[in-house]
Structure 1
């Protein structure tokens, strides 16, 4: 009797797997609509759902540098019908005290891209260069506001790193994602942002915003005339990255189906053009290599963040 039950269970599991996926997949995005995480997620899922032949429904859950959304993902049923975008903050939130998880608490599917921070101001501001901005802030410590995508987010760490490298003191203003921070800058409610070139691209192209410098080792292809902070003599290089993840414990066959589908979506001409047009560097890593990378980042941030935040 026991053997029969085991056999029946195996048959049912095989039948269920053969049908996967047979209903919509929920995709959790940890930031507000309009930012880099949101745009990347919606673009790649739109392609992947055509491959998987089921809808992939994106939902935005903001707060705590992405920890709320990632906690929802971590605690979801590992049946392949819930997945999500995980940013660099996956490796940061435990050091920030926002969550009790890290990269090893998920089944990581793949890394997609990396993107640097960009110091950006309004085009009608008096600063034409990063050096002019730095000298101005030095004479007015603690009065110039800079927006970020949430306390402890990578763009907050970027601004803190800028302070440390240049000796300036800024007033940090958090938002639920980069898009609201950029909107506040456009509205004149804050003085600057340290978000990605992607997230300020529209404002720069419309003549409303000006990028003063990027915090990367090399200039961004999106704005090749903009210098790096290192070119200006400041040793600061901060970049975000993003990838896809599942709750831990997904069936290996289901994992493979999703990994194959999203790799095809990643490799598509549409998605590659999307990344490059927005200044994101395509940076694919498979699940295992992504895990190794994210764990290394986790170890780095566990040491860096307490020092950066004075904990």
Structure 2
């Protein structure tokens, strides 16, 4: 009887050890299948292009394929909501942007928060600049600040977006009367300024530098805490007494249920991919600046800007309350 008991105990221990070993190896083997990066916007935009460049670089780092899936709609909230409630799988990554967590929740009911995710890595930073037509009487930002004349019109790519909020915050603080004019996208808004239909527009440098270089448009200021290295002569609004930070930065997220081991391995893959020369060349060509912040820094910055952006949205009367 004792021998049978001892034999049964040995079998049980071996069985338990085998299960534990299998569980550990499943994490050690990550990634074990295709990695999918979901982009909450349509194909062809800067987010999509960045995700595809990163996916290609990640594929070179790991033995698994890395693909991009576009799920656009509602300012990025549809895909983000789906990812927040999906079955936990570290092979499914979300490529997201600051506004999805700091502006959209103030303007509509959303089914997610940053607590539903584990941030992986910061990716890129895109400043927003304020532009006028070359025919404008405002040669500098100081000229615009000092001019308290007629009501002006400002163009942007959509109500409640960061280009809209950036201009609204500045014009309000400067005491300049202005009317918001929304367009379906950044390019139509820039075209409106080129055509002389509006007085100012806020946009990303990558979309307007050709018009600046040609002399058709003029940059007055940048909505970032520090000067943009590619535009060293352009002052920040903070320098002029308007502490406004409306730059766009993007990052990767995974399910909150992702294990430490999988998160660490994924972070390692992403970091190696970001060091590839091909990816760096893409960023340079696309006028994008690397924003290599940690997952902890992502959460802290989102919480801070959630309040800052919410204050502007409330003042503009765009809050869902």
For Structure 1 versus Structure 2, the TM-score category normalised by the shorter chain is 0.7 to 0.9
Aligned to 2:116: 105
Q: Is the 8 A contact 1:134 1:166 kept in 2?
A: yes
Change in Cα spacing, 1:216 to 1:228, as seen in structure 2 (3 Å) is: same
C-alpha distance in 2 between matches for 1:218 and 1:43: 27
Matched, 1:173 2:182: yes
Question: Size of the alignment, in residue pairs?
Answer: 307
Gaps spanning 5+ residues in structure 1: where?
none
Aligned to 2:54: 44
Please say which of residues 47-56 and 222-231 is displaced more in the overlay.
Answer: 222-231
Q: Superposition pairs for residues 11-30 of structure 1, below 5 Å?
A: 13-14=23-24, 16-30=26-40
Please say which of residues 190-199 and 256-265 is displaced more in the overlay.
Answer: 190-199
Q: Is the 8 A contact 2:107 2:318 kept in 1?
A: no
What is the CA distance between 1:299 and its match in structure 2? 4.1
C-alpha distance in 2 between matches for 1:190 and 1:30: 30
2:41 to 25, 31, 44: 31
2:77 to 55, 63, 67: 67
C-alpha distance in 1 between matches for 2:41 and 2:59: 21
Matched, 1:220 2:231: no
Aligned to 1:140: 151
Matched, 1:255 2:263: yes
Please say which of residues 71-80 and 206-215 is displaced more in the overlay.
Answer: 206-215
Aligned to 2:292: 284
C-alpha distance in 2 between matches for 1:189 and 1:59: 37
Q: Is the 8 A contact 1:36 1:198 kept in 2?
A: no
Deviations 1:34-83 (A, max 9, x none): 54433432332221121123332223333333212321322333212221
Matched, 1:117 2:125: no
TM, length-normalised to structure 1: 0.79
TM, length-normalised to structure 2: 0.77
The SS at the match of 1:229 is coil
What is the CA distance between 1:245 and its match in structure 2? 0.6
C-alpha distance in 2 between matches for 1:54 and 1:202: 38
Aligned to 1:196: 204
Please say which of residues 250-259 and 125-134 is displaced more in the overlay.
Answer: 125-134
Q: Is the 8 A contact 2:169 2:312 kept in 1?
A: no
Larger radius of gyration between Structure 1 and Structure 2 = 2
C-alpha distance in 2 between matches for 1:23 and 1:296: 36
Gaps spanning 5+ residues in structure 2: where?
1-10
C-alpha distance in 1 between matches for 2:139 and 2:257: 52
2:219 to 211, 214, 221: 211
Aligned to 2:89: 79
C-alpha distance in 2 between matches for 1:180 and 1:261: 38
What is the CA distance between 1:244 and its match in structure 2? 0.8
